[in-house]
Amino acid sequence: MKNYEQLIEYFEEQLKTIKYKTEPLELYSPIKYTLSFGGKRIRPVTTLMGCELFCGDYKKALPQAIAIELFHNFTLIHDDIMDNAPIRRGKETVFKKWNSNIAILSGDTLFALAYQYAQQADKDILHDTLSVFNETAIEVCEGQQFDLNYETSNNVTVQQYINMIRLKTGVLFGAALKIGALIGGSSITEANLLYDFGVNIGLGFQLKDDLLDTYGNEGIFGKKTGGDIISNKKTFLFIKALEIANDESKRELLALYDSKDIDPDIKITSTKDIFTKFKVDIAANLEIDKYFAAGMECLEMLDLAPEKKQYLKDVAIKMIDRNK
């Protein structure tokens, strides 16, 4: 089997070969622009891996891997509009570089292009493949709506937050693997085990993001930490702190998040002090370990050669045991 590095090199080369229409320029230029940002490409690579596990030919799932990546970038373009985020991966976001109307249309076009690639499957598995793709698209939107709802609530539970990131992040990792497995000829049971593996690792991936945003090494992380705190995002760290802190610290934390004129550095430092005081960083690491273990349990249930499963284990470790 090919490893992650080999597959990402292959996928990047193939992504560059996508042909777009040239007109209207304002519609297609933002698509080319957002795909040029790069990134880890973990989702499409795992689609290729899921396929290769069962048929030995990762190229068979290339259209679906492209579909997963196009869909993911569609969600990013729209998320940036909703979050009013000016920067992504060190570059201006699409709506900032152009405008919101163009970003919405380009995102919609990306979704349609993703669907064109997703449906390039043999007739006997086309229904199952598109069912996974469609259900995942709906769930990702549900997750985003929950995320928007929680922005104005201080009563979000840890379980509600976990469900939100499962929908917004985890299910796409699961779908990437499941679709790849189906293309590769797996059984439904095998595909579902890979799906559960992906969802659990996706949960760990997002929780690690939460942790790095506050506790990451800025030199390695590649950006200033504390962005979630400045934007008042209700991450696992914030929700867990409200759950276990004493009344005085809860009031202080809520006041920090409600403040409109506090110095950003003071806000970050003071909030981080509360998180650390109640060891929510440790709680986050324990939660990450829990989902990693759950993912590994699903992977072990697959009746495949250990050396094949090792490639997916390596990807899971790359996703969770990281500094950026």
pLDDT given for residue 324 in this prediction: 64
CATH of the domain at 313: 1.10.600.10
> Which pLDDT belongs to residue 321?
85
Beta strands in the chain (DSSP E): 87-88, 91-92
Q: Which domain holds residue 271?
A: 4-320
Mean pLDDT, each 10-residue run in order, the chain (324 residues): 92 93 94 90 97 97 98 96 86 95 97 97 96 98 95 92 98 98 97 98 96 83 78 94 97 94 94 97 97 97 93 92 74
* Number of domains observed in the structure of the chain: 1
Q: Which amino acid is present at 23? A: E
Residue 151: per-residue pLDDT = 87
How many Å apart are CA 131 and CA 145, to the nearest integer?
A: 21
C-alpha–C-alpha distance, residues 49 and 223, integer Å:
31
Q: Which residues, 6+ apart, have CB-to-CB distance to 269 below 8 Å?
A: none
- Looking at residue 90, its pLDDT comes to 80
- pLDDT in the model for residue 66: 98
CA distance 52 to 209: 29
Strands 87-88 and 91-92: antiparallel
Residue 224 has a pLDDT of: 72
Residues in the chain: 324
